[in-house]
Structure 1
């Protein structure tokens, strides 16, 4: 299983905002520079996260992007499933009809069971479990680097 770029970028944003806490805001430019993700990609990510109430956005002088309590209290598995935006994340036998479907193929069932086990396992963890001992060294000197995402 491979997570899509949208999920990857969203998780990076949530991890970063979690470290800053729900009282410190970030801007799109800050996120872009620190996470090395193009600003245009982040606009879509932040809009989705805001719509799902995983981040709070505030305009104006004291505005910015903040992590929400909902994001802090949601299991990583639930976050991943939401961010993947696909009810058949591993295989969809109906998108291109499969010749094995009429013959009770169990592959989709096996894959769905494994995916659910992955989600359940990831739900044992929260964003707060993603702690780095050397947080400052991760971002030292990042402001001058270009966005390669």
Structure 2
């Protein structure tokens, strides 16, 4: 299984916000610290805000804060929500498969494995992703790196 970029970026944002809690941060700070293009982060933060995983405030004293909901939701449920797909592994109907009419069990096996993955990940929370050496992570960043696309 491979997570999409949106899920990857969203998890990075949530991990970062959880570390800097209760301090709010800006899109520019997230872009710089996480090395992700600001345009990608706009979409990510809007989605996280709509799902009440972050709180956003505009204006001079505004910023982005992690919500209590994000901290109390299992990582598996966060991943499933961020993937935005009820059949993330295989969809036999999107590109019709010749094996469907012959009772192929591949989708069923993959769905069971995906649910086991989600269940396993739900044993963990953002609080389990706390770094002891948070400052060191960002002190080694060079100003010459460009955000990834």
Q: Number of residues paired by the alignment?
A: 148
Match of residue 65 from structure 2:
66
Quote the Cα distance in structure 1 between the aligned partners of 2:70 and 2:132: 22
Match of residue 17 from structure 1:
17
Q: Secondary structure at the match of 1:56?
A: strand
**Residues 17-53 of structure 1, C-alpha deviation per residue, up to 9 Å, x if partnerless?**
00111x2101000000000000000000000000000
Match of residue 147 from structure 1:
147
Match of residue 123 from structure 2:
124
Quote how far apart the aligned CAs of 1:148 are. 2.8
Quote the Cα distance in structure 2 between the aligned partners of 1:2 and 1:31: 23
* TM-score with structure 1 setting the length: 0.96
Quote how far apart the aligned CAs of 1:143 are. 6.7
Aligned 8 A contact 1:91 1:108 in 2: yes
Specify every segment of 5 or more residues in structure 2 that has no aligned partner in the other structure, as ranges: none
Match of residue 6 from structure 2:
6
Match of residue 84 from structure 1:
83
Match of residue 49 from structure 1:
48
Aligned 8 A contact 1:29 1:39 in 2: yes
Task: Return structure 1 stretches of 4+ with deviation > 2 angstroms.
Answer: none
Quote how far apart the aligned CAs of 1:146 are. 2.3
Q: Secondary structure at the match of 1:136?
A: helix
**Residues 70-93 of structure 1, C-alpha deviation per residue, up to 9 Å, x if partnerless?**
000000000000000001100000
Quote the Cα distance in structure 2 between the aligned partners of 1:50 and 1:81: 16
Quote how far apart the aligned CAs of 1:62 are. 1.2
Specify every segment of 5 or more residues in structure 1 that has no aligned partner in the other structure, as ranges: none
Quote how far apart the aligned CAs of 1:142 are. 3.1
Quote the Cα distance in structure 1 between the aligned partners of 2:89 and 2:124: 22
Match of residue 109 from structure 1:
108
* TM-score with structure 2 setting the length: 0.96
Q: Secondary structure at the match of 2:104?
A: coil
Match of residue 134 from structure 1:
133
Aligned 8 A contact 1:54 1:68 in 2: yes
Distance 1:47 1:143, change over 3 A: farther
